[in-house]
Chain A
Amino acid sequence: DAKTTQPNSMESNEEEPVHLPCNHSTISGTDYIHWYRQLPSQGPEYVIHGLTSNVNNRMASLAIAEDRKSSTLILHRATLRDAAVYYCILRDVWLYAGNNRKLIWGLGTSLAVNP
């Protein structure tokens, strides 16, 4: 799986939007972009995923660049409960359909939310 690059940390104020970037310049055509987040002392939690088109769900939005070499996770109104480490992960749909289920996790972005 291709690798991703994320800033080590970011800071936001409560009630403001947050844009978390992820670079994946070596992404292949069959790589899905997945985002998970991990709150303190908890296991990771799925946030959103997409392939080419922008995606929205109740938690967040995912904006994918036209060349797919980068993406941005958007939290529309940050709350204190959004303080977590956010991981951007690529998953090859063809490898995953077999038995290659190893998600490769980087260090993620630690998001701090100020009241």
Chain B
Amino acid sequence: GAGVSQTPSNKVTEKGKYVELRCDPISGHTALYWYRQSLGQGPEFLIYFQGTGAADDSGLPNDRFFAVRPEGSVSTLKIQRTERGDSAVYLCASSQEGDEPLHFGNGTRLTVT
């Protein structure tokens, strides 16, 4: 069946620009997560949605980062005024309510030049 889909797979942007990263979770999965992974590191939690609401956004590094999930399905991670330090692979995962495992997409590789 279809897994978690993330688009684009690669994004190159200039410092200071705005970017949007999209995640299509597995159909029926109510929980959605965003993680960020730098080279050689494990994934770092950013935000967790339960349905349409952000249940935990404590991992967002600053107010330049924002995520939405307006209809409880597709989610968009938005980064304003990008900085070179934002370069990383942004991973999205989904799961059924109260269930494991997390199903990850293959990520969006963001490069800020």
Measured between beta carbons, the chain A residues less than 8 angstroms from B93 are 43-44
The answer to whether A99 touches B100, judged by C-beta atoms less than 8 angstroms apart, is no
The A/B interface has a contact count, at CB < 8 Å, of: 55
- Residues from chain A with a CB closer than 8 A to the CB of B104 are 43-45
How distant is the Cα of A41 from the Cα of B104 in the complex, in angstroms?
A: 12
B55 CB to closest chain A CB (Å) equals 4
Contacts of A46 in B (CB 8 A): 100-103
How long is the Cα–Cα vector from A26 to B18 in the complex, in angstroms? 42
Check if B25 is an interface residue, CB within 8 A of chain A: no
Cα A106 to Cα B37 in complex, Å, equals 11
Using CB atoms, name the residue of chain A closest to B56: A99
Task: Identify which of A34, A44, A103 contacts B45 (C-beta below 8 A).
Answer: A103
CB-CB contacts below 8 Å: B15-70 with A: 31, 33, 40-45, 48, 50, 55-56, 58-59
Contacts of B13 in A (CB 8 A): none
Q: Does B98 contact A (CB under 8 A)?
A: yes
Residues on A with C-beta less than 8 A from B59 are: 102
Contact A107:B42 (CB < 8 A) given known A44-B104, A46-B100, A102-B59:
yes
Contacts of A105 in B (CB 8 A): 42-44
Contact bitstring A93-115, B, C-beta under 8 A = 1, else 0 = 00001011111111110000000
Given contacts A49-B101, A87-B42, A97-B98, contact A43 B4 (CB under 8 A): yes
B56 to chain A, nearest CB (A): 5
B41 nearest in chain A by CB position: A107
Known: A41-B106, A43-B4. A108 touches B100 (CB 8 A): no
Per the bound structure, the CA–CA distance linking A36 and B107 in Å amounts to 16
Min Cβ gap A24→B in Å is 15
Which residues from chain A sit less than 8 Å from chain B, CB to CB? 34, 36, 41-46, 49, 87, 97, 99-108
The 8 nearest A-B residue pairs measured at CB: A105-B42, A43-B104, A46-B101, A102-B45, A101-B48, A99-B55, A105-B43, A44-B104
